[in-house]
Amino acid sequence: MKLFKKILIANRGEIAIRIIRACHELGIETAVVYSDIDRDTLPVRIAHEAVCIGPAPSAESYLNIPAIISAAEITDAEAIHPGYGFLAENPQFVEACTASNITFIGPTADNIRLGGDKAKARRIMMKKGVPVVPGSDKPISDEAEAMETAKRIGFPVIVKASAGGGGKGMRIVPEEQYLGKMYHMAQKEAFAAFGNGELYMEKYISDMRHIEIQILADKKGNIIHLGERDCSIQRRHQKLVEEAPFVLSTPKFRKKVGDAAIKAARAMKYRNAGTVEFILDSNGDIYFMEINTRIQVEHPVTEMITDIDIIKEQIKLAAGSMLSLKQSDVKFSGHSIECRINAEDPESFIPSPGTVSLFIPPGGHGVRTDTAAFSGWKVPAYYDSLIAKVIVHGRDREEAIMRMKRALSEFVIEGIKTTIPFYLKILKDRDFISGTYNTHFLDNFKKASASA
Ligand code: MV4
């Protein structure tokens, strides 16, 4: 199968570099788009060509569909990789690419629409026999129906926005008396955030872990999974630390969740790379939560334990190649952890843009630093504050933890505040070291800060 001659990268920062590297290793030429403020950045230097698509505000540059399509046309790029964020999960963008005879490197527009309609995705998974948390089987139309559903499944319940994500339009309802108020608050918030106030309901699982499965699917409907990631360490619905495998994983557990993820992907005729998110409860039961229709920030931990380059696979699949691996060819080795380093105050998490006066990333055996930062670079205030991902691999979790401590300790970033000190504290935490944490880890962490 002939791959593309040239790919346009419609993103910035570390993920733009990550994609450019995959292209160059495949012998594919690259063009990258950039906004005015991103002119003097690494993706612009590393790509073969770069096209300015507008001013710093995302709405006028990285979200500007006509400007990006034009950039692909003037550079003769045959395909566009959207990275994550920005236009990665915009079905209109996929359709704009198709209309201009450009291949979108990612799932279909319909896959993206379903991934963004969480009530509908849940209903389809129920119908196809993928386990879901007890709850509504369709969007909830009014407060009376909300009460009926909540009484049927039992309190506590959680109401979620169909168009949601990032915790917006989500409310935990502990008891009957709060339902009316919480229902209307969630609806209002969802409408304000997404222009869509549609809600659905689930039983609230108080003690859960967030487990997700990386999948790859070709156009013939062959699907494999690359194992699980544990993304339970979150703050305000932002993942901070991710690891693979899940500490308590066994071949049996991995097969159970992996098979459920493949069934979910098959139910929606999924194409390219994606992630199926599950709730794991304290009984060891798993439930489908949602599907992410993009390459994710945390994809490297899976790459480290499988030795599969997920971006290269995305490109080959988008070019029409069939999966070259069977499920039995996917082998897992060692343990990987990722820490997302943000340009933020490590206590308050308030963004800290400004000039990085000195930047010396860690390296050495088993350490990978994905970043677009360098000494002298100015962190713009316009975009996400993620400035580096430190990913380590060790023979086992203990070695991975020691290696992460070593790597973060030698990381030098001067001129701005970063969250590195916060991660060094987490790495010393008793519950983190034992691996017994859940999604409430950081609530407890702030109160107790229990050190081992
Ligand atoms: C849940 C849950 C418990 N039960 N769903 C969904 C999006 C993700 N960011 C958090 N989500 C959750 N979904 C059911 N059925 C717990 C969470 C959750 C959470 C919810 C509210 C406030 C903070 C939270 C932190 C982690 C997980």
Residue 333 has pLDDT above 70, yes or no: yes
The DSSP output letter for 322 is P
The separation between CA 266 and the C-alpha centre of its own chain, rounded to angstroms, equals 20
Give the number of the atom of ligand 1 that is nearest the alpha carbon of residue 170.
Answer: 21
Do β-strands 79-81 and 103-104 pair in parallel, antiparallel, or remain unpaired? parallel
User: DSSP E strands: which ranges in 185-237?
Assistant: 199-203, 208-217, 223-235
Residue 450 has pLDDT above 90, yes or no: no
Task: Give the C-alpha separation, 132 to 147, whole Å.
Answer: 20
Asked if residue 234 has its Cβ within 6 Å of ligand 1, the reply is: yes
Q: Does a structural domain hold residue 89?
A: yes
Q: Does a structural domain hold residue 110?
A: no
Same domain, 97 and 212: no
> Could you report the per-residue pLDDT of 44-81, keeping only the tens digit for each?
999 999 999 999 999 999 999 999 999 999 999 999 99
Give the number of the atom of ligand 1 that is nearest the alpha carbon of residue 202.
Answer: 15
Task: Give the C-alpha separation, 412 to 374, whole Å.
Answer: 11
Contacts of 333 (CB under 8 A, 6+ apart): 305, 306, 307
Both tokens of 155, joined, read 């309190």
**Which range (37-41, 237-241, 292-296, 444-448) has the least confidence?**
444-448
Q: Does a structural domain hold residue 115?
A: no
pLDDT on residue 448 = 65
Amino acid letter for position 150: A
CATH at residue 419? 3.30.470.20
Residue 412 has pLDDT above 70, yes or no: yes
Same domain, 236 and 186: no
Cis geometry, peptide bond prior to residue 351 (ω within 30 degrees of 0): no
pLDDT on residue 447 = 63
Same domain, 341 and 420: yes
Both tokens of 159, joined, read 């109401």
Same domain, 239 and 359: yes
Tally of structural domains, the chain: 3
Q: Quick one: which of 278, 255, 273, 400 has its CA closest to 333?
A: 400
CATH at residue 18? 3.40.50.20
Residue 1 has pLDDT above 80, yes or no: no
Asked if residue 427 has its Cβ within 6 Å of ligand 1, the reply is: no
pLDDT on residue 166 = 78
Residues 223-234, mean pLDDT to the nearest whole number = 97
Same domain, 370 and 291: yes
Tell me the residue range of the domain where 261 lies. Answer: 208-451
Asked if residue 167 has its Cβ within 6 Å of ligand 1, the reply is: yes
Mean pLDDT of the chain: 97
Task: Give the C-alpha separation, 136 to 161, whole Å.
Answer: 12
Contact 452/429 with Cβ under 8 angstroms? Answer: yes
Q: Quick one: which of 15, 7, 10 has its CA closest to 34?
A: 10
The DSSP output letter for 78 is S
